[in-house]
């Protein structure tokens, strides 16, 4: 027998579980199928554990430099076991919270690997889900509407598999028993840079190898430059325009070596471990897509503006569709897919207004267009920049490096991009997001009286700086 539900969600990450809650709130009967733990990559291997470790690294550095604040701390020790335990406690607490939400919403959770079956005696359409638990009997679930939210996994370097010991993905790095003395990180994108920042603050010797000519290559040039400058100041070696040669990889008595090619110049890097952070692959295999009409292109499930696949009753959201691989995007897409299920269609999700955050030290965050993107789009561009160095609150916090940069369209004065490097950038960016959503001009943002002393004052100053009117610059 197959159990029937209005909505079944395959995958319990931030895309899937939020979709399940939204569907339950709309009065649907809902089931969610999860092979691992509710919360997915974000809660167990991504956003939350990595930020918990980054916080411990920041506290360690603050304590080491406590004398700067006039506080005498005779000695500080890093207890990595306790750092990991704190991280785990945070993750476990949040996972219980999601379990509670599932109960509250009367959402039935099926534990096991789900795959989509083709037309069967239960339904003339593809979509019946077979759930195979690790132990015990399998079950069949019949969804009226199915949402695929199976997420993604780390991409290995071609020809070099992850081995949990010497060649690590970001998943495996979270499970390290002890900190290495040295590490080579392949990939200077968001994940690589967050790990570089955290590990250098844990006193690990870090080298970052980035294929592009700058780290964080999708960010505004000024952001890449400032984050790189700050990391280098803390001892991180950054090799840009550098291609790691996986076929040169060797295990040695003390760790690993790998060759890096920089425009024909070969360098051999040696370290205790290698962390590969070159992107993520969508989980499209082994879930029965071959039994459906779903189209996969470039490794991602293709959907329309309502997140509907080529099978009208099957939707897909989150990392598996690969639009912007972020937790808040997966959740927003989940909510939109449910809106489409309930109302027949949904209002489009405007990806241009989604903030992108990097939780390194210093933090970086952006929303909208970079200066180069705005110029490439044919805009006459004006920018306003204000340095945190000119701000009392940033100096009080002991974090005066970085800036807020606003990009506006000179013809209309409309803000089109906001880029922040510095203290609490990932919190401050929401003011930029709101300004973009409300289609505000730089002048309008400059009219808001910001509190003093506060980091957000930099926002008002950057807005005034667009017309050369910043006060403290």
Q: Least distance (Å) from ligand FAD to the CB of residue 195?
A: 8
Strands 300-301 and 364-368: unpaired
What residue ranges in 97-169 does DSSP mark as E strands? 108-111, 113-116, 129-132, 139-148, 152-154, 167-168
Q: How far apart are CA 309 and CA 18, in angstroms?
A: 19
Q: Smaller CB distance to ligand FAD: residue 300 or 386?
A: 300
Annotated binding-site residue? 189:
yes
Q: Is 41 in the site for ligand FAD (CB under 6 A)?
A: yes
Pick from 170, 200, 360, 370: which binds ligand FAD (CB under 6 A)?
170
Q: How far apart are CA 58 and CA 301, in angstroms?
A: 38
Annotated binding-site residue? 304:
no
Pick from 128, 207, 325, 456: which binds ligand FAD (CB under 6 A)?
325
One-character DSSP codes across 152-172: EEEPPBTTB---SSSEE-HHH
Residue 131 forms beta bridges with which residues? Answer: 114, 139
Q: Least distance (Å) from ligand FAD to the CB of residue 116?
A: 9
Annotated binding-site residue? 159:
no
Q: Is 326 in the site for ligand FAD (CB under 6 A)?
A: yes
Residue 32: which residues within 8 A CB-CB, separation 6 or more?
Answer: 8, 9, 11, 12, 16, 17, 20, 38, 102, 107, 108, 109, 110
Q: Is 10 in the site for ligand FAD (CB under 6 A)?
A: yes
Annotated binding-site residue? 363:
no
Q: Is 141 in the site for ligand FAD (CB under 6 A)?
A: no
- 279, two tokens: 């992107």
Q: Smaller CB distance to ligand FAD: residue 16 or 432?
A: 16
Q: Is 16 in the site for ligand FAD (CB under 6 A)?
A: yes
1 C-beta neighbours (distance < 10 Å), count: 7
Pick from 8, 34, 105, 209: which binds ligand FAD (CB under 6 A)?
34
Q: Smaller CB distance to ligand FAD: residue 174 or 465?
A: 174
Q: How far apart are CA 13 and CA 8, in angstroms?
A: 14
Place of tokens 């040669």: 245
Q: Is 269 in the site for ligand FAD (CB under 6 A)?
A: no
Q: Is 46 in the site for ligand FAD (CB under 6 A)?
A: yes
Q: Is 33 in the site for ligand FAD (CB under 6 A)?
A: yes
Q: What secondary structure letter does DSSP report for 368?
A: E
3-state secondary structure of 323: coil
Q: Is 189 in the site for ligand FAD (CB under 6 A)?
A: no
Annotated binding-site residue? 190:
yes
Q: Smaller CB distance to ligand FAD: residue 49 or 446?
A: 49
Q: Least distance (Å) from ligand FAD to the CB of residue 176?
A: 13
452 part of the active site = yes
Burial class (CB in 10 A: 0-12, 13-18, 19+), 447: exposed
Q: Is 355 in the site for ligand FAD (CB under 6 A)?
A: no
Binding annotation for FAD:
51, 114, 150-152, 319
Which residues lie near ligand FAD (CB under 6 A)?
A: 10-16, 33-36, 40-42, 45-47, 50, 113-115, 149-152, 170, 191, 283, 287, 318-319, 325-328, 330, 359
**Catalytic residue annotation:** 452
């Amino acid at each position: 027998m197959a159990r029937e539900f209005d909505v079944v969600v395959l995958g319990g990450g931030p895309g899937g579980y939020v979709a399940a809650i939204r569907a339950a709130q709309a009065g649907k009967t809902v089931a969610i199928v999860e092979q691992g733990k509710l919360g997915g990559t974000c809660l167990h291997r991504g956003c939350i554990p990595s930020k918990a470790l980054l916080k411990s690294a920041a506290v360690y550095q603050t304590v080491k430099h406590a004398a700067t604040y006039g506080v005498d701390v005779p000695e500080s020790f890093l207890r990595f076991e306790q750092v990991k335990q704190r991280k785990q406690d945070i993750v476990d607490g949040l996972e219980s919270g999601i379990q509670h939400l599932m109960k509250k919403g009367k959402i039935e959770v099926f534990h096991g690997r789900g795959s989509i079956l083709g037309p069967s005696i239960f339904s003339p359409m593809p979509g019946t889900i077979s759930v195979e638990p690790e132990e015990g009997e399998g079950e069949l679930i019949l969804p009226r509407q199915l949402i695929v939210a199976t997420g993604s996994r780390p991409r290995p370097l071609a020809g070099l598999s992850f081995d949990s010991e010497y060649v690590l993905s970001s998943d495996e790095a979270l499970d390290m028993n002890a900190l290495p003395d040295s590490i080579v990180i392949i990939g200077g994108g968001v994940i690589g840079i967050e790990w570089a920042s955290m590990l250098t603050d844990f006193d690990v010797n870090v080298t970052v190898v980035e294929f592009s000519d700058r780290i964080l290559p999708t960010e505004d040039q000024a952001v890449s430059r400032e984050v790189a400058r700050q990391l280098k100041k803390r001892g991180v070696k950054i090799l840009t325009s550098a291609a790691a040669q996986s076929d040169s990889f060797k295990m040695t008595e003390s760790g690993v070596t790998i060759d890096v090619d920089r425009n024909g110049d070969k360098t051999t890097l040696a370290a205790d471990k290698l962390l590969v952070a070159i992107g993520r692959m969508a989980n499209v295999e082994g879930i029965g897509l071959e039994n459906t009409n779903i189209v996969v292109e470039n490794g991602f499930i293709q959907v329309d503006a309502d997140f509907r696949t080529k099978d009208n009753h099957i939707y897909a959201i989150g990392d598996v569709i690969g639009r912007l691989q972020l937790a808040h995007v997966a959740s927003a897409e989940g909510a939109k897919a449910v809106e489409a299920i309930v109302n027949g269609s949904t209002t489009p999700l405007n990806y241009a207004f989604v903030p992108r955050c990097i939780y390194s030290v210093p933090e970086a965050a952006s929303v909208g267009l970079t200066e180069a993107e705005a110029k490439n789009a044919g805009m006459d561009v004006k920018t306003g920049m204000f340095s945190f160095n000119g701000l009392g609150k940033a100096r009080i916090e002991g974090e005066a490096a970085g800036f807020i940069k606003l990009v506006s369209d000179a013809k209309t004065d409309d803000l089109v991009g906001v880029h922040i490097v510095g203290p609490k950038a990932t919190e401050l960016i929401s003011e930029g997001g709101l300004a973009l959503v409300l289609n505000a001009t730089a002048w309008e943002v400059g009219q808001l009286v910001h509190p003093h002393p506060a980091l957000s004052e930099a926002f008002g100053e950057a807005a005034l700086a667009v017309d050369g009117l910043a006060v403290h610059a």
